[in-house]
Each structure stands twice: as structure tokens, then as C-alpha cells.
Structure 1
């Protein structure tokens, strides 16, 4: 069974998530690694943090495929005295390559939001923000979905809590818990910049992460749109399983026999939550 070189595996990954489809501000591609080095084991993760790199060392992985960039902005040092520099030093010392697929994976077909929709039991009908360069109309940011059978907001939020990875944040909702939902837009990661497109889609609810007070409040004032806000990491983690399955299929086709793993380390930065939920407002005249 042939053992592929890193350059061959990266070429395969870039057919799934071409780097030219990343946003201009993004930093995707191979961060470190010898193109001629053999690859037999690959670890998929959301965040290229030290804990994930240590997991790769323990697994004996040759390559980490991460969703988030290690260096999104320029740097002048990879000193091991910095936490990102220590990641680079650990990778190189252990002959582990790092490859990043970020916004090019967000807009792919299938992409990050397809994986999120699948985890939530939604049927995708198309992209929320179509990629104008895609004649098939399947690529783009976010997804518009149908919920069959319909669920109330409370039932759907409970499904999200059960099917997405558990985090300290949990699932936050805005809207009438008893409202029936039939159509849902989803966007893995931070999605409050897409409220105009969500309103234009005419959906009943929007699932995303990192919703801020003012955009969420204004969205509620504009329309009776229900909001489901999960942790950023939790909305993107389903992509790692989808991506690993895509590489498995490529490996089988080429006869590479790669072993893929998905990191289940919770790298969401929030580790706890304190205080009580707000009590329901008393009826007028009570």
C-alpha cells in the first residue's frame, strides 16, 4: 500500500478547499511541514492550540488539519517563548505538519455549515450567501435549511444542545419558545454579519455563534426571527468529522490507507458559567 508524501495529501486537501476561495484577509494553507515527508496518520481539529498539538504527538500523527489559522496576522517571531511559537517548535521537533482550511472550508460544497446542518437534522436547500463564481449555486457562506417535521423553538434548541458538543456556554435562544419552526438558516462560527441575508431568506430561525447584543437585539426588532446561539467551537466542530470522512474517501480511492482521527478535546475558551438564569417576567397585574 503506497504511503503518500505530504505534498500529495495537501494537493488532495486543496481540491476540497482551494486556497484561492478563502477570503482575502484569511491565512490558509500549510503552516509548516516537509513536502517530501511521508504521511500515514492525520488529526483533524478546530483550533491549532498546544493541547491539540500534544494530542497529535501522542497519536503519532504526521499532519494536523485545523480549521482556525495559527497565524491570522503577520508575525516577526516563532520564539518558543510565545505560545504560538511553542506550537511551531513542537510541530517541527515531532515532524508534524500543520495545514489550515478556514474560510475556504466555510464556503465549500460541502462546507462547515453543511456539517452543522447535518448535526442538527436539517435538510439543506441552498447557500445563505451564494458564491457568484459557482454556476451550480451550491457553494457559499451559511446554509438555508428546512426542518421536517417542524419543531418549536424550545424543541429545536433542545435538539441542538443534545447533538452539538457540550460547552460551558450551552445554547442560548431568543424568541418565543413555543413558536413553530419550519425553515432555519445556519452559519458555523461568527454569523452576526449575515443578518441582512438571513432576513432576506425569510427563515423562521437562525443558528450561529458569537451573537452580540446590538445585532441580536436589532434582529429581534426587525422581525420575529428566532435566534439560536451556540459556542463558536461547537458550531464548527462537526466539520472535523465531515472533513475526516472526505479525506478517508480520497485515501481509499488512491489506496493510501491513511488513518484519520478527529480531536474531541474541547478547545472552546470558556470553561465555566456562574449565576442564575433570569426569572420569567411576572404577568401584568400579578
Structure 2
């Protein structure tokens, strides 16, 4: 039987993909409108929260919007429905639609905006264009009755525990005996109140990024049969995986800048784009940064990129790119719309494995302000 899910539960699952700590400190991410306790049946994923998107959400009876660009970025002095921003916020509140924003954290996250762009452009063997940090590692040790150890281990792996380098499903187990005496207030899975119980258990250990800890512990507690789960969490000195903004990788085969520009245009479904560089140059190593990436041209050059795909190039940085010999393809800012399908696919997969009923829609409303003529 399906159960109702709340905004909080959707956010907890989504933040396993796009943890808030990845965001730049100046960014505005997280729940921006609404309450975490609101029941949710329908979620809409969008690049922007404009009025046409809100109208679409009202028509689709959406309970929660997950947006890449924050609906509230600069401080508001007032909510005036005579202004476009005021009307948007008024409609969202009037129709009880919660809004959650994942901005630079979704740019940086594995499987987020830049990975989706790399996949669309068939760029492989990617690494971050610019490292912004390293995830801290923790060790979780949990004590499980032997006949439930495999189930708990599997649930914790699926929530993000046990990835070591290029290996997944990593854990360590050791047999032992658990001893406990339930009190009169307890409702024990094994044993009786007031009687000492001795159970054959396994001690199961996992390494995991600290950013996955919350989701892993929830998965552990949901799968574990005991009323009170015995577990330990240790912070480690080991360095975790690095993460960063943008991606750099390689094409399967070299092509001219002219052919690559056509490839970008077709793959990202844009009516036009701008190119800096010699159209006959051969390109193979590709740097990618969705959104506004002109300030990273020197990082792309230092990493040895033959071409840099990014949006919002302005005149003087474009001249600088030409001066340093960096080819650039600018398909616009709106290509970040690839995040809609990536987030929908992630949530569909996660909630298909749960008892919670959730329908995820992709916004069809057009939020691209530019037209090509």
C-alpha cells in the first residue's frame, strides 16, 4: 500500500544527489517557499520559476517545484503582486506550492547539470574543471542480527555507503554476540521485557562520504529489524573524492571546431550559438560549464581544453579567450535545462523502490528569453 510523502522526504532523497554543502557560500539554495511538512503527490522539475511555470504547476496540481535557478536570490523589500516577482510568489503561496532550489550544488553534484551536459555532448572520461573541495569520509559500524545482515547491507549500499575508488558495495563483517535486556516500555523484535537476550549478530562496517551519512542512516534504520539500532559513526582523516565546478573530458573522435559546433547545436537542441576560434581547428578535449562560465576561461586553458562550452560570454572575455588560443562554443545559458530530465530520472528511480507514491513532471513551459532570427 502506497504512503503519502512529505516535502521533507523528497528533499532528503534529492539531497543525496545534490547535497547543499556543495553550493557556493553566496548561493541561495534549499527550501525557499513552503513548509517541510507539506504532503506531496506531484513534483515538477524546472530550470526557472517564472509565471508561466507557476501557471503550469497550478494546472498540473503540483505540490512541490524543484528548480535550478532560485526564485528568491536577492533580498525582497516587499511582495508586491503588481510586479512579476511579486505575482509569482503570491501565486505560489495562494496555491500552496512549495519551491526548493538547487543551484551551484546541482552544477557540482555527480549526475547534475554539467554531467548531464557532458553526456548529451558525448564527452567521456570527465573530471571536474575546477576543484572546489573534497568530501570528508566517515565510517559507520552497525550491529545486525545475522538473518537481516544482507538486507541492511544492501539498503545502506543503495543509499550511498561502501564506494571506495572504482569499487562499489564495499563492506566488512565480523560475527559476534549482542546482549540486551528490554525494559517494560520496550517493544522488542527479539526477546522479552526484563530478560537478558543473547543474539548472534554481525558487526558490519562501511566507508562513506559524510554528505551521504543522513540518507545512509535513514536507510539503515528503515531496514533494521530492531526498535533501537546500535551503531557507531567515526569521522576519518582519510581524504574523500574531490568535487568541483564544470567538467573536462574527451570526445570519442576528433572533429573540427565547425563540426563540433554543429554537434553542440544539434545535441542541445538550440536554434543558434556563438563560436570563438578557428573553425578548422581540430578539437578532442572538451571543457564544459553550464550557465555563465566566462570567468573560467583560464582554467579551461590550463587544463588543456581544445574547446570550452559555456554560456553568457561577453565581449572582452571573448577577446581574451581568442588571445589565449581557447576555442569557445556558447550555446546560451538555457541549455542548463538538461537538469530537468536528470533530476526526474533520479527521483523516479529512487521513489520506484519505496512505498511512497510520487509523480514527477518535467516543466514544458518555455523560459528561454532569447529568440534567433
Larger Cα-atom Rg:
2
Partners of 2:14 and 2:347 within 8 A in 1? yes
Aligned length: 269
Partners of 1:42 and 1:64 within 8 A in 2? yes
- Which residue of 350, 353, 365 maps to 1:250? 350
2:372 counterpart of 1:268 = no
The equivalent residue for 1:280 is none
**Which structure has the highest strand share of the two?**
2
In the TM superposition, 1:120-269 aligns within 5 A as 120-134=121-135, 135-137=239-241, 139-167=243-271, 170-223=272-325, 225-234=326-335, 236-269=336-369
Q: Give the Cα separation in 2 of the matches to 1:49 and 1:7.
A: 24
State the 1:237 CA deviation. 0.7
State the 1:27 CA deviation. 0.8
Partners of 1:117 and 1:124 within 8 A in 2? no
Q: Which stretch of the first structure deviates more once superposed, 75-84 or 65-74? A: 75-84
Q: Structure 2: any 5+ residue segments left out of the alignment?
A: 136-238
Q: Structure 1: any 5+ residue segments left out of the alignment?
A: 274-286
State the 1:7 CA deviation. 1.4
Q: Give the Cα separation in 1 of the matches to 2:307 and 2:249.
A: 10
The equivalent residue for 2:74 is 73
The superposition leaves residues 162-200 of structure 1 with CA deviations (integer Å, 9 ceiling, x where unpaired) of 121335xx2111122222211100000000111121111
State the 1:90 CA deviation. 0.9
State the 1:220 CA deviation. 1.2
The superposition leaves residues 185-219 of structure 1 with CA deviations (integer Å, 9 ceiling, x where unpaired) of 00000001111211110111000000111111111
The superposition leaves residues 82-138 of structure 1 with CA deviations (integer Å, 9 ceiling, x where unpaired) of 211211111122121111000111111122111111111111420001232234545
The equivalent residue for 2:31 is 30
Q: Give the Cα separation in 1 of the matches to 2:15 and 2:78.
A: 27
Partners of 2:270 and 2:331 within 8 A in 1? no
Instruction: Tell me the TM-score normalised to structure 1 length.
Output: 0.89
The equivalent residue for 1:91 is 92
Partners of 2:134 and 2:240 within 8 A in 1? no
Runs of 4+ in 1 over 3 A off after TM superposition: 134-138
Find the residue that maps to 1:131 and give its secondary structure: strand
Q: Give the Cα separation in 2 of the matches to 1:245 and 1:19.
A: 20
CA RMSD of aligned residues (A): 1.5
